[in-house]
Structures are given as C-alpha cells and as structure tokens.
Structure 1
C-alpha cells in the first residue's frame, strides 16, 4: 500500500509533522518503510529520500514554507503473500552480509534456513546466522561448504532435505569481490573470481535443479551484480563472472520452467557490507554515494527483501528476470 500525504509547515518542524502523519496512518502490523521525498523550500529546492529520522533542513536556518510529500510503504506479509512458513531455503554465503540478511528475512517470514558457508562467524561480528535464525523460531543448520566443490553443495542439499523432507528454494549468494582492471588482473585472481562467482553458481543451480526435479519444483535466486549489467571500473574478473551469472540464470530458467522451477537473478548495486568496505579499492564507498542517483549505498536488507519476494508465491509467474537493486546506478 502506498499513501501520499502533503503537509505545509515550517522547515524546522518537518520532523514533528512526519511523526504526526505516521501516528495518524496506523498501518497494519508488519514491516513498514518510511521515506521523505520532494521537500521543497523557496528559494531552496531539496530532493531528498531519507529515513524518517534524517530529514534535511535549509542550511540558512530560516523558516521557509515547505511542501512535503510523505510516502508510506506498508509491506504486510499476509497482504503480499510473502509468507514463507513451511519452506526450507538454502543460502550459500549466508554467514555474512547480504546472505545473512537473506537468511534472517526468510526466517522472519517463517522459513527454515540452511546456511552453507566457509565460516560460521559473520564478518561483521555478532551472533552466527544459524543462531539468529533459531531466535526467530525457525529451524536452521550450518554446513561448512565451498561453492567451488559440487559435493559440498550436494551435502548442503541433503541437510536441507533432512530438515523438512525437501527444500523449496536455493539462493546462490556466495561471492568473491577482489578485482581490478584487465592489465592488473593476474591468472590467480581471474580463476578465483570465475570459480567462486560463476562456477559456484553453476554448482548451486545444478544441485538445486537435481533435487527440485524430483520434488515437483522450487525457486532459485542467483545473486549477480550491477557489474554484470554494465562495465564497472577496475572489475574485469568480477564483471565477467557476474555477467555470466545473469546469462546462466536466463538459460536455466528457460530449460526448467515447465518443470515448475523458477530461476531469477538479483543484481545489487553498491551495498553496505564488509565486502564493500574491505574487498574493494580505496574510495569505493564515497564513489558509490556520489555516483548512485539515490546518493547512498544500499542496505543488505533491501536486497534480501527482493530475494524473499522472488522465492515467494508473490512471484509465481516471474522467471528468467534480473532484478536490479542499485538505486538507479545501472540506468544512468
């Protein structure tokens, strides 16, 4: 549900107006996203989308008349049919970053989750994903798995089947981010990037399809990247691998659509994770905030919401798509 409200008031009390509007709406229980956009002050025009606690006010400090449009997005599980109760989902690379958020978002929707990763501890610190999933009331198991080893992923599929008799969804999220321009890309970096980011997805798709053919279908989501859609600076091996993920997604989707298996890709833009902070070139974060039309990096939760939508019944007629979650970066 989207509700547009307009209010006229002085800039210095915009936050109070937003609070009043939020209380007045009284949306149903569920997840709520609130953003402020089109804050217009004469003579200063500010186009801004921000969290509810961070509205922008005129730097002059004077009280101007402002027109504020407040959009409230109510994401309600029952309304959107994004309930994952009774489903089991395998998430590769699910210990940290985007994968961790996917696992937790799915669990909050009622799914059981198998985390397949090389490390159980999150790169960002904190409780292991499996424990956090169990805290939601869902079941979860960790499988030490290297996506470049097909047998490791087949073992993860077996663990998932033991949880609930079968599994309904598989998310190929594990990735390797170190990359550079072509003349600085050595054979070791090329091979590791292709093996992890592309061959790992091939292994995951193969494992998932093998099981889903026997169980009447399911949903696969491959985490690609905006780097696979357009050329990213200093990203030869990474862009090549992620472009391959998008092509593989479309091909597998066509081959197995009649078998009840849906296959989609999600291409995040610059996302606030340890991979962005630690595995990329100096200055990447500031570059991302400057060059992304929405003037910020994405959050893992925003990517996770898209993935859970794609594995849910809400996306029952969607397959072969590449959904870009990048703040407009790849459409410039």
Structure 2
C-alpha cells in the first residue's frame, strides 16, 4: 500500500523547487495534493506540478495563495476540506530571501521576509491545527505539520541576515507547536536542508558558492530536491508517529563536520 494512501496534503510553494519535489513524491505515494503558490508556472520551466500529478494518474488542485495573507491561508484550508473532506498534512515550504546583511537590509525587505517566512508559517500552522482539531485521528495523529527550515537557522550564512533569522524562528516555532499540541495528537516537525541544487536563479547557483558547498559537504555530492522530498515523505507517514519537535538535517553531513 502506498505510504500516503488516501491522505490529503497541502504543500506551499509547490510550483517549483523543493515544494514541487515534495508534492510530486506525495502524489506518487497516494496522497491528494493541494499546490499552494503565488504562481502556478514552475521556475524550472516545463509542465506545472498539477499537470505532472494528473498525468501520472494522481489527484490534486492548485490554489493561488499568498501565505502572508491570513484570508488567503484561511481560504486555502477551507477550500481543501470542502473539496477533499479533510486535511492530513500541511507542508510549509514557501519562503523568500534578500541576500543582504544587517546594514544592507531595508526595513521594507525585513518586513517582507518576515511576513512570508515567519508570519506566513504561523498562519499556515494555526489554520491547519484548527482544522486538525475538528477531525478524528487517522492512525496515531489528527494531523501533521512539516516546516521547511534551513541549516541557516542553526548557523550564520554571511550576508543573509533576514532569511537566517527567519529560519531560526521556524525551528523554535516547530518545537513550540510540537510540545503545546502533542496532547491534541498533532505532530509538528521541521526539515533543514543543506545545499540543495534547484532551479532557483541568482546567488544560490553562483559557481564560487557551489564550489564552497562541495568542499564543505562531507558527502561526495550536493543535495537534490528528491533528498528533501524523501525526508518529507518519512515525516508525513505512519513510520514517524513518535517523532515530533525535531529539526531533521538533510545536508550530507554539513552540520556534523
């Protein structure tokens, strides 16, 4: 039986990159997947995430969502439940960055990063938990929240001040939700990717940065979206029913070195 048979999942930022990989993997394992993003077109080009899910015989839905807007998040969960009956998994992945240090970061940049990367995650966690509490448990959980954090939430990345601070907040948010709502049978975990090669433009694929990451990562290759998707699948499955409040590193040993 597929690991996520009959489960209903929302994945934010699922049109591209890590969110896309997670959504596709969930669909492969039997989940109905709601793709929540500000744009449906993938950064990498090619077919949309929903088109790929449907072409493979899966079930899904795209809902345009700005997670920094409570009304959008409220509508996202409401539409999901109206269409598919319940919500089992909320994956909070959508995020933005500025690649600026303290002095370079404008108040407007700070506010925008925090509105998506922290407040947006808060909105999605809150609305998902509200829905979970209306449902009877399936297996050992009413619902699962998976937050995509970053190794930059544990150590400083030079010149990426607001992003790093926001990801540190997500690690603590995850712990807080896990402890406060364990009695409600709500599981909450985070995944902290290391260097993952995606189609993201800009500094993420700068040749010098990639060379440094290769030298810094103990494992003999850099990460791929499928590596994060595999971790997200594990945490969404019944195999992880006694795991909550963790920040799972998917980094080829970077943080261990």
TM range (shorter): over 0.9
Q: Deviations over 1:234-254 (max 9, x none)?
A: 111111000000000000111
2:91 is equivalent to residue 91 of structure 1? no
Work out which of the two has the higher radius of gyration on C-alpha atoms and give 1 or 2.
Answer: 1
2:135 is equivalent to residue 211 of structure 1? no
Q: CA deviation at 1:331?
A: 2.1
CA contact (8 A) 2:27 2:33 kept: yes
Which 5+ residue runs of structure 2 have no aligned equivalent? 137-141
2:196 is equivalent to residue 271 of structure 1? yes
Q: Deviations over 1:161-211 (max 9, x none)?
A: 133210100000001132222222222221221111111111110110010
Higher share in strand: 1
164 and 120 in structure 1: CA distance in 2 versus 1, 3 angstrom threshold: same
The alignment's TM-score, normalised by the length of structure 1, stands at 0.73
Instruction: For 1:155-170, list aligned pairs within 5 A.
Output: 155-170=75-90
How far, CA to CA, are the matches of 2:130 and 2:4 in structure 1? 22
Q: CA deviation at 1:296?
A: 3.0
User: Whose RCO is larger (CA < 8 A, sep 6+)?
Assistant: 2
The alignment's TM-score, normalised by the length of structure 2, stands at 0.93
2:146 equivalent in structure 1: 221
Q: Deviations over 1:255-289 (max 9, x none)?
A: 111111100000001111123x4254843222211
1:104 equivalent in structure 2: 24
How far, CA to CA, are the matches of 2:163 and 2:212 in structure 1? 18
Q: Deviations over 1:303-328 (max 9, x none)?
A: 01101110110001110010000111
How far, CA to CA, are the matches of 2:203 and 2:80 in structure 1? 30
CA contact (8 A) 1:177 1:280 kept: no
2:159 is equivalent to residue 234 of structure 1? yes
How far, CA to CA, are the matches of 1:204 and 1:174 in structure 2? 11
Q: CA deviation at 1:218?
A: 0.4
Instruction: For 1:1-332, list aligned pairs within 5 A.
Output: 83-216=3-136, 217-275=142-200, 277-280=201-204, 282=206, 283-332=208-257
How far, CA to CA, are the matches of 1:143 and 1:228 in structure 2? 29
The aligned length equals 251
How far, CA to CA, are the matches of 1:193 and 1:221 in structure 2? 20
131 and 301 in structure 1: CA distance in 2 versus 1, 3 angstrom threshold: same
CA contact (8 A) 2:36 2:63 kept: yes
